[in-house]
Structure 1
């Protein structure tokens, strides 16, 4: 997979990761949504809905029976409460109290009166009468502490009230009294997520998944696994995420989305070949699915088979009916071809993408980049102009257009486009590129002070050999030879081109650092024996060190190569 596409896939994954505040509980009073970890659709994360009464029917206020596998009574599939309202003050970080090492005594059976109180407490919680539910559950705990159910109900109530510390205590008691039930560690994991203790949340969800595995209902197992997967995404543990998603697929083999998310996780875990069967299975059921076709192409690129990736993309483009979808596939084809050095074919693929979706500003910008790679600057400018027309608030497109104008020698126009990019408050990388354009254009117009200022800002946020080269030239023009030497030395360090080395030697010579200049120039004339300017500068450094015989020999060499200044220096 290319770096560009790996970043896209990882960004998709992170965008779908729930925040601590958004982490849902195993709901007991209303249907809730659990965010998927990898796939997003129509601008937001996809959801899987669970019927609360199916998970814990004893909390349904209407008393209706479950519609599928349910975890009733004190069974493993009981669930946690509705998401609590946001607290006005952040809850203090809590950790579960240490469990007692004393043996757990069996619970004392409820009396008839206590069973009636439990039913009242559940009804109050299900009806949103939280203070009443809290009082009833607390009274039951005082009467029959070893029964786990009142601790569970009170934990749910306190969560709904935003009392994380109290809920944490009750779920810890639930774990101690009923260690076989997954609700305790699951809800402790929810609290840990809300408090930003993500490592604890990951561990607790894993414990809950182990307790629920093969015992709880499918819906309950699925919800716990989704929570575990969300924390694995946060931790970027893609190997573990793949195992969790494989469990989800096993629970529901017909869930195409889960199967595709598993393939994505496998690719991010470096298991691209293992992801192919699942991805092809998705395409078999949904042949026009663009994201799956793109993933197949990325897998083949990762396996060193770019030609196979191109053929897969071509085949997928023939299966989709939407021009926008074909444009996406063609743009990925252009990326694969460009990465393989086939820039001409890449330009044609990007051109086809713009024809398929003439409103896709990104397609025109990519076409401009590819034309720039082939030194087709007029063509690149035309493509950028289309991109900036379609997306006038995209700073990166204006910065790209400014760079092309600079390469064409259109300095005033480059400055204008750079100014437009700056007005849009670009991100750091685009800002640095825009400042580079400003600096070079100012230098070319003889405005050396502004040039130095812009180039200093550029290299401060995005160091580059070219940026330091122009910064050095600007400083040299201002007779700041020390500053020029420092900047040019950085340029040489990043990319020791002959031009950078020669300019560094010139700056060192101007700063009277003759020995350093001579060392650089001797290496340069050794690499480029016909470089007349380097021979000339070498002669000057030798003369400055009172070695006239050597200086005249170097100057004669430069003169014989056609250097007119060397001829004058010999007179």
Structure 2
């Protein structure tokens, strides 16, 4: 039986697509090999035919050929290898796992067996087992003169799984081993720099930042336009609180960039950093990004900052385009806020309702519904405001306040009091809510409740003129005329002119 030639494995960010290469047959013509097998159904011809079927994309036929070879000689690790590859391509992962396990048992000195087994385990989501198996592949490969290319692939595939597991220090070490085998590899230098950066965020070891910056600057010395390396440098400085230096590095990277994709990447990060120091500069930077890529995700951030800067017309335009292109919950929420700022209350209500229906996060749902209730009130759609508030599974204090005010305007004072009491329970220090609840109790002639709420209000803020006035009404309703007159006098002193009438003046 011919020896299995080492297989060239293609490293991908996902599970590799594996191929099988055997020693060259006398012919690669599928018809010739089929005839050859018919005339001489030997183990070797079965394996060669299986390989030919794989190459032709006839994977199911390849499975049959390799199974035939295994029936002829179960110890043929070539046949197990080929069957494992075929089953892997058919996404029969349990079958592929078994075949590669058999391969490692029959020939434990083959790196390929462990490597491919790890690939199958990765596809199955068994990442911890896959990492251990890649480690075994590396151990076997080192002991059996595996090529640098094969070992590099094993190291890099293992490193990618370590990254997913958040084991950045271990991933860094794996990439460093691969780099030793390929000392000129810029991609591996970058990987080491990135993982050292990630490790430095959770490690007190200053050496991690040193390693990260060393490789990143080494790459930039060769290629100043390498945006990925610039970003590694930037994040190292950001982690050290050196934002100004990070911004200077970004400017250098932007100036050196040779393509729009790199400029967009660097400008986006610049905008994010500028948000903390100069919103206007961040807006300008995001606008520059959008001149290079009109569909960049920073469209949302640009519109969000415009809204925060009270540039409502521009923000509205931005959110309208976002909703048109990609109607997400946050896009609708921004649209609703922009429309409200432009006094488009009915439109804002509709947008907020759309946001609440799309949102999965309970907090975002509550925020959207609160905006909807507020705008229903402002649009004088009081019934809609009340119904929505009552339907909320976790109503906010603000929603309950607007819902209560809506019920009050409908003269549904009991409903108003119930909703406003809920608002005050959630936000006991909110003077506006207390004032509104007191008014609802007064409308219901529940003077004891009104006196309790309003007494607490004026105790909290002795300069709340309307609070004193309403407190006076509550006291008068309870028959405490002396107390009421004192309250009215206090309201009048604070400038509340209606109190003059309550005191008997004109």
TM-score of the alignment, normalized to the shorter chain, above 0.5: yes
In the alignment, structure 2 segments of 5+ residues that lack a partner are 29-40, 54-61, 203-207
CA–CA distance in structure 1, aligned partners of residues 355 and 68 of structure 2: 59
Aligned in 2, Cα 1:163/1:561: closer, same or farther, shift over 3 Å? closer
Q: For the Cα contact (< 8 Å) 1:469–1:491, is it kept in 2?
A: no
In 2: Cα distance, 1:545 partner to 1:402 partner: 45
Which of these residues, 145, 151, 155, is aligned with residue 221 of structure 1? 151
Give, in angstroms, the shift of residue 460 of structure 1: 5.1
| 517-526 vs 189-198, greater mean Cα deviation | 517-526
Provide the residue aligned with 2:71 in structure 1: 138
Distance in 2 separating the partners of 1:169 and 1:497:
66
How far apart are 1:541 and its partner, in Å? 5.2
Change (3 A) 1:167 1:446: closer
| Partner of residue 488, structure 1 | 423
Q: In 1, distance between residues paired with 2:378 and 2:146?
A: 73
Specify which of 145, 152, 168 is matched with residue 97 of structure 2: 168
TM-score (norm 1): 0.66
Identify which of 9, 34, 47 aligns with 2:11: 34
For each residue in 1:65-109, what CA deviation from the matched residue of structure 2 results, as whole angstroms up to 9, or x when unmatched?
Answer: xxxxxxxxxxxxxxxxxxxxxxxxxxxxxxxxxxxxxxxxxxxxx
The correspondence for 2:341, drawn from 404, 407, 416, is 407
Task: Deviation per CA, 1:479-526: give whole Å up to 9, x if none.
Answer: 313541365147527xx5543454456567768887887666555445
Larger helix share, 1 or 2: 2
- Among 287, 290, 296, which residue is 2:224 paired with? 287
Structure showing greater radius of gyration is 2
Give the drift of 1:204. Answer: 3.1
In the other structure, the counterpart of 2:271 is 334
Match of 2:237 among 300, 313, 328: 300
**Whole-Å Cα distance in 2 between the matches of residues 136 and 48 of structure 1?**
25
Q: Could you say if the C-alpha distance between residues 166 and 317 of structure 1 is closer, same or farther in structure 2, counting changes exceeding 3 Å? A: closer
The answer to whether the 8 A contact 1:61-1:127 is kept is no
1:536 Cα deviation after fit: 3.4
Q: Distance in 1 between matches of 2:384 and 2:430?
A: 26
| Number of aligned residues | 466
Does the Cα contact within 8 Å between 2:386 and 2:403 map onto a contact in 1? yes
Q: How many angstroms does 1:447 deviate by? A: 0.7
Q: 2:256 aligns with which of 288, 294, 319?
A: 319
Between the aligned partners of 1:160 and 1:360, the Cα distance in structure 2 is 36
In structure 1, how many angstroms separate the alpha carbons of the residues matched to 2:405 and 2:24?
77
Inter-CA distance 149–415: structure 2 relative to 1 (3 Å threshold):
closer
Deviation at 1:314, TM superposition (A): 2.0
From the superposition, tell whether residues 150 and 401 of structure 1 become closer, same or farther in structure 2 (CA, over 3 Å): closer
CA contact (8 A) 2:420 2:433 kept: no
Deviations 1:259-288 (A, max 9, x none): 334434444442683533333333333322
Q: Is 1:58 the equivalent of 2:22?
A: yes
Query: Who is 2:119 aligned against?
Result: 190
1:107 is aligned to none
Higher RCO structure, 1 or 2 (CA under 8 Å, sep 6+) = 1
- For the residue of structure 2 that corresponds to 1:35, the secondary structure is coil
Q: Check conservation: 1:337, 1:345, Cα contact below 8 A.
A: yes
Residue 141 of structure 2 aligns with which residue?
212
Q: In the alignment, is the contact (CA less than 8 A) between 2:438 and 2:450 conserved in 1?
A: yes
RMSD, aligned α-carbons: 4.4
Describe the shift of the 1:195–1:351 C-alpha distance in structure 2 as closer, same or farther (beyond 3 A). Answer: closer
1:226 positional shift: 3.7
Matches within 5 A, 1:391-402: 392-395=324-327, 396-397=330-331, 399-402=333-336
